Chains A and B, each alone.
Chain A
């Protein structure tokens, strides 16, 4: 287990190398002079030169990369071209809303998908199962932003139950915080609910025909306990592998959801920065998201080996 953890940590080195190259390349993929692009057509020669220097664009590309990596390792992500504030500070300032919306989403996903999956397996010989399959297929086929528009239409406009915009920090009252998060988090969760529930259901259906389930029944254990304890726990292990995909979906989704619900998180920051061509921030946010995602995948892998005693004790 320890050996595996160490090996897994070492495997992150090449991954992070590729990640850094891709993020670094963003500014160099732009057609023409990035400084020109940022400052606009009628910027003076002098200010362009100044920005080039600030961004290090006047040096050879390899040197630029090395310097950039050095800066990042020491926590210097550069400055925003737009506001001149340090990129890292701006990102940290935006973490709260994104973190809140993601956490509430994950809780919603678990609270909704687990009972649905259990119900689908419990009543697997009825119409519930094909209905469940159809809904989960529909779930991955609906664009998040359109689903959000429909919810806004239904909930906030016709039956005004939930606010459709804005974010209240938790410090200003936990109820208001949660109240404003319900709609955006639910939209974010909706797609993933289908994914997770489907995976759980497939895992449970696989497990339900295993010999050890027959053993549990032969002991005289109640069917509900057989399902919840024996079948469900075994289905949980393969389900952990979709957590990575789920987090990717959530991170991608926050970009859209935060923009739609005017939540000042990282996703909104990214979109705004793209409008403003604020490349240091674009790079910073994308690097940050990649790092978070890599760490999540690492934890998922470790969780997987931890949950399965056959691997844990190898």
Chain B
């Protein structure tokens, strides 16, 4: 019961942020880049809920707009990494010959901490939203490959799949209609976590000044600018950071919730526990 409430809360937070950032120009006349030197570094008030920054821009509006880049980067990276990881994981898990090649590549890529790999790629490609997506997608797919492969290995030898083989179903059909639907839950869970981690990584790259173009409002860029005003105008640092924490926390809670809901292991455990309490203790 408590868990379901938590899932609903996570979905609610994510929906609220998404809708707010999409419709921002509809309900607010203030531009996120409107500069007014007379309004520099004002503390939060009824006029400027989150205060203003060093250019007199409204931090509330900028924090809302900044969600766009973060959510887009996070979502696209999650989709790219999930797609690449699922395809390679399915192939590696199903075909023995491809397995060793794919897994060697994956092992090689996992030899880099993800943030470092992304940093190196952005350094080479240059910082733009597209390049950051490429870099993070590249950095996060190997983990997905591992997870999908492990899941495939677990279901591969189940009887109904053996049976499907004997009826002459092609490998493609077996992979997509028999195996994939059975391993969806770990994929969705890991996809959700990738979403969260991508948002954190994008923020970190932007914060370091090697991410999204500094003129674009993103949470990382805002915090990078806020850093030197930390003691003078703490609200400048606090609110964009809260934006990240709220979004990432909601995603992580959702991932946990999905895992608890779908995990066959957790379910089995629960059943087993029930059985034990009724039989063994009975």
Contacts and interface: CB of A to CB of B under 8 A. Distances in A.
B114 A248 contact: yes
B59 interface: no
Contact of B104 (A15, A153, A259): A15
A137 interface: yes
A289 B230 contact: no
Contacts of B253: 137
B123 A289 contact: no
B115 A255 contact: yes
B76 interface: no
A19 B106 CA distance: 10
Contacts of B256: 137
B201 to A, nearest CB: 9
Interface string B171-194: 000000000000000000000000
Given A145-B204, A255-B116, A271 B111 contact: no
A79 B205 CA distance: 26
Q: Which of A11, A30, A286 is packed against the most chain B CB atoms within 10 Å? A: A286
B108 A15 contact: yes
B248 A293 contact: no
Contacts of A10: none
Interface in B102-138: 104-105, 107-109, 111-117, 119-126
B237 A293 contact: no
A123 to B, nearest CB: 19
A106 to B, nearest CB: 15
Nearest to A20: B108
Contacts of B111: 15-16, 18-19, 290, 293-294, 297
Contact of B124 (A29, A144, A149, A260): A29
A19 B107 CA distance: 9
Contacts of A16: 108, 111
A270 B210 CA distance: 12
Interface string B243-269: 011001100110010000000000000
A29 B121 contact: yes
Contacts, number: 140
A67 B262 CA distance: 51
Given A149-B227, A271-B208, A141 B248 contact: yes
A256 B207 contact: yes
B241 interface: yes
B108 A141 contact: no
Given A31-B125, A259-B208, A270-B119, A14 B108 contact: yes
Given A31-B125, A255-B119, A146 B112 contact: no
B127 to A, nearest CB: 10
A263 interface: no
Contacts of B119: 255, 270-271, 274
B189 to A, nearest CB: 14
Nearest to B138: A22
A26 interface: yes
Contacts of B45: none
Contact of B116 (A138, A152, A252, A275): A252
28 contacts: A15-B108, A18-B108, A22-B112, A22-B117, A26-B121, A29-B124, A29-B125, A30-B125, A30-B126, A137-B249, A140-B252, A142-B248, A143-B204, A144-B204, A146-B241, A149-B223, A150-B237, A150-B238, A152-B230, A153-B230, A247-B113, A253-B115, A255-B115, A255-B208, A256-B207, A259-B208, A274-B210, A282-B123
Given A146-B241, A274-B123, 4 more contacts: A142-B244, A149-B241, A286-B112, A290-B111
